Chains A and B, each alone.
Chain A
Amino acid sequence: MNGRSDVTSHPVGDGSTPVVEVRSITKRYGSIHALHEINMKLFPNEIVGLVGDNGAGKSTLVNIISGALEPTSGQIYVSGREVSFKSPSDARDAGIETVYQDLALAPDLSIWANLFLGREEIVRGPLGWIGWLDRKTMMQRSVGDLERTRIRISSVTNRVGRLSGGQRQAVAVGRAVAWGSQVILMDEPTAALGVEQQAKVADLIKNVAGNGTPVLLISHNIPQVYEICDRILVLFHGRIIAELRPSETHVDEIVSWITGAALFGAKANA
């Protein structure tokens, strides 16, 4: 659906430049090896699943690509050019948008303010420097951004602190989708959503990828990952131990990789 039938024509290593590539990313917290020599590529139109048990290092990897964390070593390339993100705004400027696991929303601000925080539309004042917020424009655009998530939400002037967990998640997803021009990283974007809403976000993700922007999807909902992803990377104790394609695997096998059972027992079947 959504014109994504061409997606499988982008297998890894077909010669096209990855939108985002990480090479040998390692992250240590003191003696904890959160990530070890991670290599990963995201190509246009792809939905890549990143799965793994709690503490496997998924959020750490996402936070490194989004500029929220600095890696201990390793490189990141965006469209073939090496980048070094000193802050999340560097990554945002490079077109990388993130739905953080903790959502990164300001509860006291309205929905529209959260959607535009850090990229506010302003009306320049007479002297050119003391401008004011263009609330009307931001509110109008916010309505559209949220409609895309197709999750029922209160008026965009409401404070985020008053929303339900699922509505907050919709705001975070809507923000990422509205601004992500190169790649969208989603750290458990559907964890707080009901079944119907999860399906809506899944459609949205397909829609986004169908328009060219790759999505890195972290989720503990393995059937969902299996259904919508083109490739699935399994992270186990900070290492990518398997790269699976839904056409060549099944949910049980993915789970056995996540738990590590596949590593030690049924590896021959993989």
Chain B
Amino acid sequence: MALTTAPREIDNSDAPSGEMPDRVPWFQRFMERIGALWTLGVLVVIVIVFGAVAPDLYTKAAWLATSEYAVEYLILAIGQTFVIITAGIDLADGATLGFSSMAGSILMANMIGSHIGGGFAATAGILLMLATGAAIGIVNGVVITKMKLPPFIVTLGTLTAITGATDLLNNATEVTTLPGFVTRLGTESVLSGWLPVTVLIALVLAVLFGYLLARTRFGLRTYAIGSNEIAARRAGINVDRHLIKVYMISGLLAAAAGLLVTANFSAASPIAGANDELYAIASVVIGGASIFGGRGTMFGTVVGTSIIAVLTTGLVLANVQSFWQQVAIGAVVIGAVAVDRVRTKVGTD
């Protein structure tokens, strides 16, 4: 929106200028600092503890397994961060991942089957994936804002519908005929094998969207809407349009995650993305975002995702039965929310 009026200057010569603003008590500042670092501290502790139990955690293989595992959840969590900061939720992002990657992969397989060049097929397929994801996000956003329905209900509905639609697309079977470009995406790496391309892409996305959230007008308005929607409307923000964009971003990122998952497995699976939304939401919440909106950071989300990934790998390396992983992650989520509650009570509100 264009700036139409400049703030007015009023004669203020008689205003007291020597009056110093009162300072924030030191413990409040301390708690806020802790707020950003607290989750990072937990991550460090988890790494140390599991490293002690299973020294294999410090190997290249464990790093690659952990980071590649995290890619999918991190990209979903990036979009989920925006959504949760607006006091919304996107339960459909895992299903969107599955549907969009299936749709794009079917197109690619058919094009290859019709002897169309792999590069052309890859371009068309990836564009279709991203467009599909964005479209699902837009539908979510439009239904939520125009019909004034709770995000939880709307995205629960799309989650269910899209999951079914994914199976319809290819009779619930995998698509494995993929262009070389896509499969290479899942195997290539940089920094002498230490940084898989998929991990690099996820990190670049985290930085770009972190910048969008923390430094731009779009980001500021995202926080404003989650903090007090009426205030945002009265400040002249087109809240509906903004929310639609936020859900579109979530859908778009789900599709991007879908592309990388497809690349990693060299196949589009009908069950790809199932239950992913739970991990994405958990990552964001562990990272310190408030499900009541208005609060959260991309840095926190990256740390939150890392905690879940390290926990998962660590439990595997420590030979803990896999069912315990979910129990552990659930406990961490509840713990994170509980700590956040204590923290906000102590002084930051």
Contact = CB atoms under 8 A, between A and B. Distances in A.
Contacts of A161: 349
A156 B294 CA distance: 18
A113 B224 contact: yes
B228 A147 contact: no
A154 B217 contact: no
Interface residues of A, number: 52
Nearest to A157: B24
A178 B9 CA distance: 7
A66 B235 CA distance: 11
Interface in B290-338: 293-295
- Taking chain B's interface residues, is the majority helix, strand, or loop, or is none over half, making it mixed? loop
Contacts of A159: 348
Interface string B219-254: 011011011101111111110000000000000000
Interface string A42-83: 000000000000000000000000101000000000000000
Contacts of A219: none
Nearest to B226: A108
B15 interface: yes
B1 A154 contact: no
Interface string B1-41: 10111011011100111010111100010000000000000
B131 to A, nearest CB: 21
B7 A106 contact: no
B224 A144 contact: no
Given A109-B220, A207-B11, A118 B22 contact: no
A102 B231 CA distance: 9
Q: Which of A95, A103, A161 has the most CB of B within 10 A?
A: A161
B15 A100 contact: no
A145 B22 contact: no
Contact of B5 (A114, A120, A181): A181
B11 A106 contact: no
Nearest to A121: B3
Contacts of A92: 5, 236
Given A109-B223, A118-B235, A148-B15, 6 more contacts: A87-B233, A89-B1, A104-B228, A106-B223, A107-B349, A113-B223
A148 B12 contact: yes
Contacts of B4: 93
B5 A95 contact: yes
A144 B236 CA distance: 23
B115 interface: no
Given A107-B294, A132-B215, A150 B16 contact: yes
A152 B21 contact: yes
A120 B232 contact: no
Interface string A1-24: 000000000000000000000000
